[in-house]
Amino acid sequence: MNTKVIAVCNQKGGVGKTTATLNIGIGLARAGKKVLLIDCDPQGSLTTSLGFDPDMLPVTLAQGLQDAMQGLDNEIPLIGEDSIIQHHNEGIDLVAANIGLAATETALVTAMSRETTMKRFLKDRIKIYENYDYVLLDCLPSLGMIMQNALVAADKVIIPVMPNYLSATGMMQLFDTINRVRAILNSNLEIGGIFINIFDKRQNLANETIEAITENFGSDVRVFDTRIPRAVKAAEAPVVGESIYKYNGSGKVAIAYKELTDEVLKYV
């Protein structure tokens, strides 16, 4: 399969990475794609947002990475009760995370081939290139080892930014990390695009934000046309483990995420 691996990154917390990963992922599934989401955050927000209890799952990303780190080639169950893959009823699969992933992050620092563990896990154990069209990695708010592993495994990076949260320094650090990973570890890696997230019409900051991005990072970085508006419904949907399409399908956030998904299908 022509599998695309997309890392959803921004080392700033609360800019809507998890919500975007979920809704773009389910958007892609609704467009007929086979989609796997990977929760790369020890807080397990993506796992929780999809209605799973991170502490009740027998096998999560932590175990998958630990096995890959040690070069184990034991069978990792992909189906059944002990599976590392959870199926969500809106047509996507998930590799969950919980707090155990924090220890994995520390262990990675001294592991052999420490930056390529995620890539090997996805390719050899989950067999993404045989099973999925799109794999989306919901990154944690840090530039640490797991984030680097995500960037090494990815073909593209999608960056959500919030207008009032835009810090040029923060974006510089993120771009710097992406550029270093590209130069040293993964020459495939490209920035798929940036989008304005949790946008409040009354703030009127979006245009300034786009100008600032273009000024700082050049016009060759795509800024998606779609802006995801701020709406309470977007924050309510994950509480019941649903996408915005199911929770409030005719609302403005669902419509925006559908448009963003179309842009991702077209450009990423």
Residue 77 sits in the site that holds ligand ADP (CB under 6 A): no
Which residues from 120-149 bind ligand ADP, rule CB under 6 A?
Answer: 141
Taking Cα atoms as reference points, which of 210, 206, 208 lies closest to residue 218?
A: 210
**If binding is defined by CB under 5 A, does position 156 make contact with Mg ion?**
no
Q: Considering the complex, what minimum distance in angstroms separates the CB of residue 152 from ligand ADP?
A: 21
Shortest-Cβ-distance residue relative to Mg ion: 18
The residue whose two tokens read 């890392």 is 7
Q: What is the 3-state secondary structure (H, E, C) of 215-257?
A: HHHCCCCCECCCCCECCHHHHHHHHHCCCHHHHCCCCHHHHHH
Q: What is the four-CA torsion angle of 34, 146, 178, 211, rounded to 10 degrees?
A: 80
Q: Does 17 bind Mg ion (CB under 5 A)?
A: yes
Tell me the C-alpha distance between 248 and 68, whole Å.
Answer: 39
Q: Give least dist CB 54 to Mg ion, A.
A: 13
Region of 50-58, 122-130, 170-178, 229-237 interacting with ligand ADP (CB under 6 A): 229-237
Residue 198 contacts ligand ADP per CB under 6 A: yes
Among 95, 111, 228, 268, binds ligand ADP (CB under 6 A): 228
Cross-strand bridge partners of residue 94: 37, 86
> Rounded to an integer, what distance in angstroms lies between the CA atom of residue 42 and that of residue 140?
8
Contact letters for ligand ADP, residues 37-56 (x by CB under 6 A): --------x-----------
Among 11, 16, 76, 149, binds ligand ADP (CB under 6 A): 16
Position among 153, 253, 260, 264 found at the interface with ligand ADP (CB under 6 A): 253
> Residue 87: phi, psi to the nearest 5?
-105, 130
- Bridge partners (DSSP) of residue 166 are none
Selected binder of Mg ion within 45, 49, 226, 243 (CB under 5 A):
45
Closest to Mg ion by CB, 14 or 249: 14
Point out which residues bind Mg ion (CB under 5 A): 17-18, 45
